[in-house]
Structure 1
Amino acid sequence: MALTRLEWFLSWVLRTVMGFLFTLFQLLAPRRSDGSSRLPPITNPLLMFSGVQLAQKIRRKEVMSVEVVQAYIDRIQEVNPLINAMVKDRFSAALQEAAEADRLVKEETGGEEALQHRLPLLGVPFTVKESFNLQGMPNSTGLLSRRGVVSECDAPPVALLKRAGAIPLGVTNCSELCMWLESHNHLYGITKNPYNTEHIPGGSSGGEGSILASGGSVIGVGSDIGGSIRLPAFFNGIFGHKPTPGVVCNEGQYPPASEQQQHFLCTGPLCRYAEDLLPLLRIIAGPNAEKLSLSSEVDLRNLRFFSVPHDGGSPLVSPVAEQLLQAQREVVERLEADLGVKVEQLRIPQLRYSFQIWGALMGAPGRDGKPPKAFAELMAGDGKKVWPVWELAKWILGLSAHTMPAIGLALMEMVQGSPSQFVLQQKEELQSRLEEVLGTDGVLLYPTHPHIAPKHHHPLFTPFNFAYTGIFNIMGLPVTQCPVGLCREGLPMGLQLVAGKRQDHLTLATALHLERAFRGWRDPGTV
């Protein structure tokens, strides 16, 4: 009981302080016009096909890759001035590669099936998060000190997509050093949500989420160590999948993860259409795809479904918005009506310690006993070490090269202590509970975030809300973020589908069903 009272008191203090700061921010922040909050609707029908469908049409000579790539280039040029999602393009090279793809189709003698087996995404355009190596493209991860860094080779997942025939259009914005849920840095500026440009697209793969949702890309690559695929997918109304760890190679990214963090970091696909998730995962996993049962048929009527509506009331995390709770209830009702299953509602008490568990494990040393590299050192890039307190003083004067979230994280590291035995015990109990519940045939419904996409900079006042996604990085479970309609304000809603380790095919199959039931992605220019 004493612990509960202490938590209540800390929660009250935290919410009071944050409420005061938020009110002050609202009063002092410059007023922005909402005149540019709507994107033009998509008019080219080529932009409304999935990647799988485009590949098939190109193989069958129903459309040329050059036409498809040009259609996406035109759309990017139309919307990117409004959303600032793509930070560097390679349009000329992409058109040349599209012409080569068309030549291969024309000269193919083995038939469509042979071409599909050899080059399953031949001629299909894609985009890449700027933190990944893409040959000839910048790889700064939003650091001013890395503004001149250009990739000399491709990250393994990018290379596998290119080997499958896909054509990269360019790289997209992310948060500074990929450690914040707003894609903002002093090198490329701020990326905006295509459903309302006064709101965030999420992070750190926010540029990917924004360009995909706006119709400027059809498939993309992101990374996720605390929700960086799922949050942008949620805020932008698209699909994103965090695979089982160790399946997709994490090399070729900046910053590199420590030995311990490699168990939590996942590279995965983002896309507008659910049917693209599985083939994309199969391609970027390479030989490791055999570790998953991606070819297995899934009968959803034989699965066990569970719903957890919230984390149980963490004092550090906002309560889940009623609109999102209602959306999850509607998903439960639809699954029960469509499949004839009974979705069991659960309460898992250990989830209320999600942020503490994530923080403790992220900072834990590896098997060699060495702690991960300090965030302040990563902020320095190749320059001198960053001193967080001094950097905060510079930020107040408008002189810092870093964003407030990055400085805040470096400051938190200075006061972070060793994880308590209580937190580690909660982690072990949660791990056991989830493994017991999910087994090899269970799917768990869980909120992706407590709120719909916030306005720009507002996450500074709710910095721990990412715990809803971050906990599953620590648990090592595959998760698919699935859109389930729009809220009253016209912003996307969604939820996470969680399965047991190496049971990725279960959440991917469920996402396909929910896409049919709730219409999936919607053109932001028409809502």
Structure 2
Amino acid sequence: DDDYLEKFPFLGVPITVKEAFCLHGMPNTSGLVNRRNVIATSDATVVSRLKQAGAIPLGMTNCSELCMWYESSNRVYGRTNNPYDLQRIAGGSSGGEGSVLAAACSVIGVGSDIGGSIRMPAFFNGIFGHKPTTGVVPNDGQFPNAQGVRTSFLCTGPMCRYAEDLEPMLRVMAGPGVNKLKLDEKVSLEKIKFLCMDHDGGSIFVSPVDKEILQAQKKVVEHLESDLGVQVQRVAIHKMKYSFQIWSAMMSSADDDGQEAQLFTDLLGDHGKPVWPLWELVKWLVGMSSHTLPAIALGLTEKLMKLNPGGNAKLVSMGKSLQEEMEALLGRDGVLLYPSHPTIAPRHNSPICMPFNFAYTAIFNVLGLPVTQCPLGLSSEGLPLGIQLVAASHNDHLTLAVARYLEKAFGGWVLPGKA
């Protein structure tokens, strides 16, 4: 009956969980060789809530080493492939989720996102993903656990093939935190203030946006204007050009209590002896390292970031200014259309040649804004296209509503191999 369905909204629904989360009796390595024998003895809060809502866990899915790279490959489980082209990446760090959901191995999934780790895999695999407003969904029960300012940047959220599944998943995962949102508010799409940005303004660190991604975004604008009768406003936000620098500086900054962010090299050592990245690079070159090259490179980058505290402080200030600017621009009724990534799913290993392209998603973590990743069909190569839908804090209901609308207009998820 209705009461039973209200109590168990996911009764019998198969679910997969990113391996970084605790699922009782299952591995919890986060791709770190030092943790290959770690077995979870409890459930992460969001996993527990979904199980209590009736979901049935099928298993765990792969991620990048310590969830800090956008290709899901590690020395514990190996590499995750994209179901649309096995030579392409599935994204990261929730790449396993993106891959199994796109391939219809699972129905719904749990991901986490500190730089785009839900949205990039959702984009590369042609599914839906949602990074909620900061502080709505609990992050506890995953490794690595965020500390200091990063607790405000890490978000746990839903991933799925169908837009209509995002909201009920978010309700269950948020628990009491759902009261911070306005999910019961009816959304009138014609009254939304739509904004559009084609690119970040030309960052020297990031690739230019692919023409097919821009064409897909243009089609969205044209459809909104012709079907809803709205006027999509093109905007240029100068500070977005520094997205990568702002994200990096804010990720390494101290919180209001002066607590420093945990060093990545400490995490690589799994709270034992910190890893020395230069020595680890030498070991990697002769095939003796237990770490991936991106993880070692991140450790080196982290060391370099510490050499310019003055510059970092200016970037943190710029980030806070950008946050105020974005909140004012979006207001109570705004939704920004923004590219999900500069390129469609890259080939395996190629992200190391364009390491900062994740800035297109990462900037919204440090701004604390809700973002829904929405698929927009396939490219000429048969690879997923998509778009990010961004709103002001606690306006998740707006991006979710627009995602449902665009799914009907552009077809949503496409079965791999069908095109």
Q: Give the TM interval when normalised to the shorter protein.
A: over 0.9
Is 1:505 equivalent to 2:397 in the alignment?
yes
TM-score, structure 2 length as denominator? 0.98
Residues 266, 272 of structure 2: 8 Å contact kept: no
Name the CA distance, whole Å, in 1 between partners of 2:304 and 2:198. Answer: 33
2:154 to 243, 258, 265: 265
Residues 514, 520 of structure 1: 8 Å contact kept: yes
SS of the aligned residue for 1:336 comes to helix
1:172 to 61, 78, 87: 61
- Please name the residue that 2:191 is paired with: 302
Residues 145, 383 of structure 1: 8 Å contact kept: no
Q: What is the 5 A alignment of 1:215-364?
A: 215-364=104-253
Q: Give the deviation of 1:431 after TM superposition.
A: 1.6
Q: Which runs of 5+ in 1 are unaligned?
A: 1-111
Is 1:418 equivalent to 2:309 in the alignment?
yes
Deviations 1:416-460 (A, max 9, x none): 132525423432332222111100100000001000000001000
SS of the aligned residue for 2:387 comes to strand
Residues 145, 382 of structure 1: 8 Å contact kept: no
- Please name the residue that 1:7 is paired with: none
SS of the aligned residue for 1:137 comes to coil
Residues 239, 272 of structure 1: 8 Å contact kept: yes
Residues 483, 521 of structure 1: 8 Å contact kept: yes
Name the CA distance, whole Å, in 2 between partners of 1:289 and 1:426. Answer: 30
- Please name the residue that 2:415 is paired with: 523
- Corresponding letter in the other structure for 2:375: P
Residues 22, 28 of structure 2: 8 Å contact kept: yes
Q: Give the deviation of 1:278 after TM superposition.
A: 0.3
Residues 166, 400 of structure 2: 8 Å contact kept: yes
- Please name the residue that 2:322 is paired with: 430
Greater alpha carbon shift after TM alignment, 457-466 vs 376-385: 376-385
Residues 63, 94 of structure 2: 8 Å contact kept: yes
SS of the aligned residue for 2:85 comes to coil
Name the CA distance, whole Å, in 1 between partners of 2:310 and 2:124. Answer: 31
Name the CA distance, whole Å, in 1 between partners of 2:360 and 2:89. Answer: 18
Is 1:381 equivalent to 2:270 in the alignment?
yes
Deviations 1:22-44 (A, max 9, x none): xxxxxxxxxxxxxxxxxxxxxxx
- Corresponding letter in the other structure for 2:50: L
- Please name the residue that 1:24 is paired with: none
Name the CA distance, whole Å, in 1 between partners of 2:30 and 2:310. Answer: 29
- Corresponding letter in the other structure for 2:267: L
- Corresponding letter in the other structure for 2:404: L
Q: What is the 5 A alignment of 1:189-208?
A: 189-208=78-97
Q: Give the deviation of 1:143 after TM superposition.
A: 0.6
Higher Rg: 1
1:441 to 330, 333, 338: 333
Name the CA distance, whole Å, in 2 between partners of 1:192 and 1:317. Answer: 24
- Corresponding letter in the other structure for 2:260: P
- Corresponding letter in the other structure for 2:309: S
- Please name the residue that 1:83 is paired with: none
Q: 1:419 to 1:513 in 2, by over 3 A?
A: farther
Q: Give the deviation of 1:382 after TM superposition.
A: 4.8
Residues 266, 274 of structure 2: 8 Å contact kept: yes
Is 1:463 equivalent to 2:359 in the alignment?
no
- Corresponding letter in the other structure for 1:464: F
Name the CA distance, whole Å, in 1 between partners of 2:213 and 2:249. Answer: 28
Q: Give the deviation of 1:259 after TM superposition.
A: 2.1
SS of the aligned residue for 1:136 comes to coil
Q: What is the 5 A alignment of 1:367-378?
A: 367-378=256-267
Residues 305, 442 of structure 1: 8 Å contact kept: yes
Q: Which runs of 4+ in 1 moved over 6 A?
A: none
Between the aligned residues of both structures, percent identity stands at: 58
Name the CA distance, whole Å, in 2 between partners of 1:157 and 1:120. Answer: 15
SS of the aligned residue for 1:483 comes to strand
Deviations 1:27-77 (A, max 9, x none): xxxxxxxxxxxxxxxxxxxxxxxxxxxxxxxxxxxxxxxxxxxxxxxxxxx
1:158 to 26, 47, 50: 47
Residues 158, 169 of structure 2: 8 Å contact kept: yes
- Corresponding letter in the other structure for 1:315: I
Name the CA distance, whole Å, in 2 between partners of 1:235 and 1:293. Answer: 29
Q: What is the 5 A alignment of 1:4-153?
A: 112-153=1-42
Q: Give the deviation of 1:383 after TM superposition.
A: 4.1
1:182 to 71, 76, 82: 71
Q: Give the deviation of 1:386 after TM superposition.
A: 1.1
Question: If each structure's helix is expressed as a fraction of its own residues, which one has the higher value?
Answer: 1
Q: 1:311 to 1:379 in 2, by over 3 A?
A: same
Larger relative contact order, structure 1 or 2 (CA cutoff 8 Å, min sep 6): 2
Q: Give the deviation of 1:525 after TM superposition.
A: 2.5
TM-score, structure 1 length as denominator? 0.78
Name the CA distance, whole Å, in 1 between partners of 2:316 and 2:266. Answer: 27
1:484 to 376, 393, 402: 376
Deviations 1:194-234 (A, max 9, x none): 00000000000000000000010110000000000000000
Greater alpha carbon shift after TM alignment, 381-390 vs 115-124: 381-390
The total of aligned residue pairs comes to: 416
SS of the aligned residue for 1:220 comes to strand
SS of the aligned residue for 1:268 comes to strand
Q: Give the deviation of 1:341 after TM superposition.
A: 0.5
Name the CA distance, whole Å, in 2 between partners of 1:509 and 1:368. Answer: 38
